[in-house]
């Protein structure tokens, strides 16, 4: 009796195992994500509710204080700024990225690859160094001001560096390629016969663009938005280097709390709020069909 039962169990186990053939494939990533994504984020969530002692030690008692502190006007202002800057960056990237992608696709052939290459290569240079180069360029004694002064267009140097404008400029500079790429991909995937058909119907180029091309590349725009808007929300290097550490964004608050003040619970609460916002946006865009586009791009 008992042996037949154990055989039955063994068979069941064997069957169960053979049903789980996918495990060797998705097992590693599942464990990895559980260990190094969910667990750390869970820890951050947990710490964000803990009290801080007089010397910054983490105490084992529950508090909502860090979240309450985030309603301070300074924090709200920083979050608003983060949102406005990221949104502005996204719009600017779209406004200058779309025509560029359109231009590249229209050039066609060998040029297409080369022109796209020219968009990509700058992003291979160390990000920090590129920001630094932009800083050199926009400073009071930088090339831009010197050129404008020499041309007599301005009489005293323009204050570009260390202003909110410099921060947005830096964000656009850093993220523009990620807007151009997906739009280029979706434009390239368009069926030229569709455009021809509408041409035959006598649509003007502009009308054709707005009624045919633009709607067809909606996915590309959405993907570009995911690739530009989301990372801008978490950016902290640009405000620090180009904003002179006085135009903070949400990422700077987190860095300041974690690294400069060592206040892990306070930093964690900001991280939780920022992550929640990001995940919400991702969720919405996936609902709107962005995921498919994202995957197509990859």
Interaction residues for another protein, span 30-69 (CB under 8 A): 30, 32-33, 36-41, 43-44, 47, 54-57
Note the Cα 95 to chain centre separation in Å: 17
CB nearer another protein, residue 8 or residue 103? 103
* Residue 16 in the binding site for another protein (CB under 8 A): no
Question: Applying CB under 8 A, which of residues 94, 160, 222, 233 lies at the interface with another protein?
Answer: 233
Nearer to another protein, 88 or 234 (CB): 234
Question: x/- site string to another protein, residues 182 to 221, per CB under 8 A?
Answer: x-xx------------------xxx---------------
* Residue 264 makes contact with another protein by CB under 8 A: yes
Is 133 among the residues that bind another protein (CB under 8 A)?
A: yes
Work out whether 105 is an interface residue with another protein (CB under 8 A).
Answer: no
Residue 5 or 73 with smaller CB distance to another protein: 73
Is 242 exposed, middle or buried, given 0-12, 13-18 or 19+ CB atoms closer than 10 A?
Answer: buried
Q: Pick from 167, 227, 238, 269: which binds another protein (CB under 8 A)?
A: 227
Q: Which is nearer to another protein, 6 or 276 (CB)?
A: 276
Residues 140-159, one symbol each (x = binds another protein by CB under 8 A, - = not), give: xxxx---------------x
- Are 230 and 281 a contacting pair, CB within 8 Å? yes
Burial (CB count <10 Å: 0-12, 13-18, 19+), residue 95 = exposed
| SS3 letters across 56-103 | CCEEEEECCHHHHHCCCHHHHHHHHHHHHHHHHHHHHHHHHHHHHHHH
Q: Does 118 bind another protein (CB under 8 A)?
A: yes
Please identify, using beta-carbon distances, which residue of 4 and 150 lies nearer to another protein: 150
Q: What is the DSSP string of 239-261?
A: HHHHSTT-S--HHHHHHIIIIIS
Say how many residues touch another protein, by CB under 8 A.
Answer: 117
Give 6 or 46: the residue with its C-beta nearer to another protein.
Answer: 46
Pairing of strands 50-52, 58-62: antiparallel
Q: Write out the H or E segment, with its range, that includes residue 207.
A: helix 205-208
**Interface with another protein includes 231 (CB under 8 A)?**
yes
Please report whether residue 89 would count as binding another protein according to CB under 8 A.
Answer: no
Residues 266-285 that bind another protein (CB under 8 A): 267-268, 271, 274-275, 278-279, 282
- Residues 6 or more apart whose CB falls under 8 angstroms from that of 63 comprise 49, 50, 51
Q: How far is CA 260 from CA 208, 209, 237, 255, in A?
A: 54, 50, 15, 7
Residue 117 touching another protein (CB under 8 A): yes
Residue holding tokens 């667990």?
39
- Residue 129 interacts with another protein (CB under 8 A): yes or no: yes
Site for another protein (CB under 8 A): which residue of 17, 26, 194, 214?
Answer: 26
**Residues 6 or more apart from 144 whose CB is under 8 A from it?**
137, 138, 158, 160
Binding status of residue 222 toward another protein by CB under 8 A: no
């Amino acid at each position: 009796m008992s042996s037949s039962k154990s055989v039955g169990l063994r068979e069941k186990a064997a069957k169960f195992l053979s049903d789980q053939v996918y495990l060797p494939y998705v097992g590693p990533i599942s464990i990895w994500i559980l260990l190094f994504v969910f667990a750390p984020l869970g820890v951050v969530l947990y710490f964000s509710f803990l009290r801080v002692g007089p010397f910054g030690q983490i105490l084992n008692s529950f508090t909502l204080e860090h979240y309450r502190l985030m309603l301070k006007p300074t924090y709200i202002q920083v979050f608003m700024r983060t949102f406005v800057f990221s949104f502005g960056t996204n719009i600017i990237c779209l406004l200058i990225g779309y025509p560029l992608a359109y231009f590249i696709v229209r050039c066609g052939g060998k040029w297409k690859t080369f022109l796209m290459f020219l968009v990509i290569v700058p992003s291979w240079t160390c990000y920090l160094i590129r920001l630094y180069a932009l800083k050199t360029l926009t400073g009071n004694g930088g090339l831009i001001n010197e050129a404008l002064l020499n041309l007599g267009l301005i009489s005293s140097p323009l204050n570009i560096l260390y202003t909110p404008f410099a921060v947005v400029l830096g964000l656009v500079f850093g993220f523009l390629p990620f807007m151009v790429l997906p739009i280029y991909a979706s434009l390239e995937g368009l069926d030229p016969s569709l455009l021809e058909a509408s041409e035959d119907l006598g649509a003007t180029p502009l009308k054709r663009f707005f009624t045919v091309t633009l709607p067809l590349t909606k996915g590309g725009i959405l993907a570009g938005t995911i690739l530009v808007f989301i990372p801008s929300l978490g950016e902290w290097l640009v405000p620090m280097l180009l904003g002179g550490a006085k135009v903070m964004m949400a990422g700077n608050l987190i860095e300041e709390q974690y690294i400069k003040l060592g206040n892990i619970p306070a930093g964690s609460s900001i991280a939780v709020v920022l992550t929640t916002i990001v995940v919400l946006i991702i969720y919405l865009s996936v609902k709107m069909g962005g995921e498919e586009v994202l995957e197509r791009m990859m």
